[in-house]
Structure 1
Amino acid sequence: MTLVLARHEAPLRVGVIGVGNWARHGHLRVLDLLPQYALQTVYSHRREAAEAASREYRIARVAASIDELVESGDIDLVVVLNTAPQHAQTVRRAITAGKNVYCEWPLTTTLAESEELLRLADARGVRHVVGLQRRRAPHNRYVRDLIGDGYVGELRSVRMHVSMNYFQAMRTRALEWTVPPENFSSVVSIYGGHFLDMLFASTGWPVSIAALTPNQFPEVTIRETGVSMPTSTPDQLVLAGMLERNAVLSVHIEGGKRNGSGVQIDITGTQGDLRVTNVSAFGDAGDDYVIHGAHGDKAPLERLAVPARYYRLPASSLPSSVLVGLRPRRATRHAQRSHVRRCREDASPHRRRAGVVRGTALHCRADIVMSAFGRTSR
């Protein structure tokens, strides 16, 4: 999550919609930590869950409906944390009410809806952010700067493998909504969105790609009920492509991994190498995103500590998996109108205004990847 920090004499008053697993694990804990925000109102379709969050985080009011929350005069920012199929209508209500809005990725389940929300937000003049994890995490900004400063020389190849225990053939009821393909909530759309954005923010975006998006779990069983459901959603992504200046790209993202899940990134250049590892893609085990590097020829990889200047959040006891995905930065207008239409021709984030987020553009890229098997979200 990338948080909006504006210059206010008083904290931004926040209304939260949705208090599911990740909202409780991450967003609410960090919003409660940061003095720039005041948790003002919470809503969930499960009243008891909203009341529990209200008690735990000292949130003043529990709203009876989404409309009550977004139309409240004491809310500056609406944070949308319900499930992806609910995002479009929730964000639309917030924008229509004239509220600034943060929405967790994916913004919507279709590119057409994302484009429509972008037009609506521009027309209403509201600020809007799509929450993509780890783009501005300390390790990722440090890797970006190492590459930019020539630590590895010219890029020759980039390889990333991401695996997680989620999205197996057996799923909990809380994840039942990820089964229907139309919900745009697969390994490719969710994890691909977050981790490809993280990677390309440091290496630059590819100029060409080819992809495989297989489905190895065509039937999913809900653990609590025993009900089995057919699905065609992809549970793996194998991507090959080219970056600028003839650098080779390979990515493998897989769900349903039983053991040894995590993230491994290898970056090879003409003058050196970088390796980034994490033993759990979204968990709390071990050190988070450890960087090793070597400059020169046949040198051993040595650990590179992330300099203190890359850390921005206050000291806390929150686990690294929470802190690495939630980073403050100043609010900017969402500007990707032309980029959506030409995301295949111009993948470079540097050609857009500084600080913009890329919800619809990333959705466009996900559609390009999934179109390899006819799985677009239009």
Structure 2
Amino acid sequence: MANKIRVGIIGTGGWARYGHIPTLQALDAFEVVALSGRNLAKVRGYADEFGIAHAFDDAEQLINHPEVDLVVVLAPTPEHGRLSKKVVEAGKDVYSEWPLSTNTAESERVLALAQTEGVTHVVGLQRRFSPSSRYWHDLVRQGYVGKLRAVRMSVGVEAFSAVMPEAARWAVDPDNFTHLLPVYGGHFFDMLFHGLEFPEKLVSLSQNQLPVTTIKETGEQIPYAAANEVLVIGTFPSGGTFTLQLEGGQRHPTGLQIEITGTDGVLRILNPRGFQNVDDGQVYGMKDGATAFVELPVPGRYNSLPVTHLDASAQDVAYLYDAYARSKTKGDSDVTTFEDALRMHRLLDRVVESSAANER
């Protein structure tokens, strides 16, 4: 492209290095021109490694730099809302990692500001963009399962375990909204319900089975109040039902498992990991009187970008960035926006409120 979208990234954690920088550098529509972070030496090291022109230890310098068109906010969650508002106030497009902020009220304010200023806003709910997700979404819409009857999804991950690194200490505070339900619930609920329907009714239960976390480097033990087991059951507007289970801190991760049953067929989606997936999910189906699942390979048209050398989790981000680029040129893409983020915040509020009511 003669006119690339020039990107500035705030935050130099592992997700920037693993997911965003390699993805953007593999896409012709983008050029990463600036990085910022708290440790200037680290930022400069990243900039040198990846050939990025500008390095800052002040996020506002990056936001206001004239060569930056799109600002990507990858700082810790408590900074997402504040920094996103700074970007919007500067009149620039903004991509915020999910969650958009630490609470629904703040996310409402961020969205309202973005709408007032008329900037393009993107939230990092990228799981719905994986080739396997887009494929099974299409199968459902094309009638593979018929009328929806029931959905069962479980997500089991190592994250949020009884031992956590010092760098993750900040996430132990539930007020920072970086625990099992908002992180894995937000991503996988969005992917699931985008492919089916949004819930009508739900009830939930949650449990904290690991109430103490040990800091790996020091052995210090600190209280951990967030739930690491979450169960949600409910109904869809069409009458179908769903059962969802999230489990964090697994010693033997079970990954992603989904079954979708209908009047005409069944779909099964599997992935051995919840995140940092080397390979995309596998899709299986059973219909027309069959008694065993058969694999339904993802057609090549769902892998349309030159990013197959990256892990599947990074490829998901690539398809989200591609949707953003198309929104700028064609105005008709399905990019996930701050509206999607707010909808997810409100859904998670319902889950928390139901769980609290059941505890009472």
Q: TM-score, normalised by structure 1?
A: 0.88
Give 1 or 2: higher helix fraction: 2
- Contact 2:307–2:318 (Cα < 8 Å) also in 1: no
Aligned to 1:53: 46
- Contact 1:134–1:326 (Cα < 8 Å) also in 2: no
Q: Pick one of 31, 39, 57 that aligns with 2:24.
A: 31
Q: Pick one of 285, 300, 312 that aligns with 1:308.
A: 300
Aligned to 1:370: 352
In the alignment, the residues of structure 2 paired with residue 325 and residue 162 of structure 1 have an alpha-carbon distance, to the nearest angstrom, of 20
Aligned to 1:350: none
Distance 1:316 1:138, change over 3 A: closer
Q: 1:246 is paired with a residue of what secondary structure? A: coil
Distance 1:326 1:354, change over 3 A: closer
Matches within 5 A, 1:343-354: none
Q: 2:24 is paired with a residue of what secondary structure? A: helix
Gaps (5+ residues) in structure 2?
none
Q: Which digits, 9 at most, give the CA deviation of each residue in 1:322-346, with x for residues without a partner?
A: 213431214659xxxxxxxxxxxxx
Paired residues, what number? 348
Q: CA deviation at 1:250?
A: 0.4
Q: Which digits, 9 at most, give the CA deviation of each residue in 1:28-71, with x for residues without a partner?
A: 11011111111111000011221121012110010231111111
Query: What amino acid does structure 2 have at the position aligned with 1:275?
Result: R
Gaps (5+ residues) in structure 1?
1-7, 334-352
- Contact 1:95–1:121 (Cα < 8 Å) also in 2: yes
Q: CA deviation at 1:297?
A: 2.1
Q: CA deviation at 1:278?
A: 0.4
In the alignment, the residues of structure 2 paired with residue 54 and residue 38 of structure 1 have an alpha-carbon distance, to the nearest angstrom, of 13
- Contact 2:171–2:178 (Cα < 8 Å) also in 1: yes
Matches within 5 A, 1:67-78: 67-78=60-71
Q: Which digits, 9 at most, give the CA deviation of each residue in 1:251-283, with x for residues without a partner?
A: 101101111421010111111111000011113
Aligned to 1:21: 14
- Contact 2:126–2:317 (Cα < 8 Å) also in 1: yes
Q: Which digits, 9 at most, give the CA deviation of each residue in 1:294-333, with x for residues without a partner?
A: 1122432111011111122214421223213431214659
Q: Pick one of 343, 347, 350 that aligns with 1:361.
A: 343
In the alignment, the residues of structure 1 paired with residue 184 and residue 18 of structure 2 have an alpha-carbon distance, to the nearest angstrom, of 17
Q: CA deviation at 1:98?
A: 1.2
In the alignment, the residues of structure 1 paired with residue 336 and residue 23 of structure 2 have an alpha-carbon distance, to the nearest angstrom, of 22
Query: What amino acid does structure 2 have at the position aligned with 1:97?
Result: A
The more displaced of 154-163 and 252-261 is 252-261
Moved over 4 A (4+): 353-356
Q: Pick one of 301, 318, 324 that aligns with 2:316.
A: 324
Aligned to 1:344: none
Does residue 121 (structure 1) correspond to residue 114 (structure 2)? The answer is yes
Q: RMSD of the TM alignment (CA)? A: 1.8
Q: CA deviation at 1:354?
A: 5.8
Q: Pick one of 138, 144, 153 that aligns with 1:145.
A: 138
Aligned to 2:156: 163
Q: Which digits, 9 at most, give the CA deviation of each residue in 1:199-240, with x for residues without a partner?
A: 111111111111112111212111112222212211121010
Identity of aligned residues (%): 37
In the alignment, the residues of structure 2 paired with residue 237 and residue 55 of structure 1 have an alpha-carbon distance, to the nearest angstrom, of 43
Aligned to 2:226: 233
Q: Pick one of 75, 84, 89 that aligns with 1:91.
A: 84
In the alignment, the residues of structure 1 paired with residue 206 and residue 71 of structure 2 have an alpha-carbon distance, to the nearest angstrom, of 34
Aligned to 2:245: 252
- Contact 1:213–1:372 (Cα < 8 Å) also in 2: no
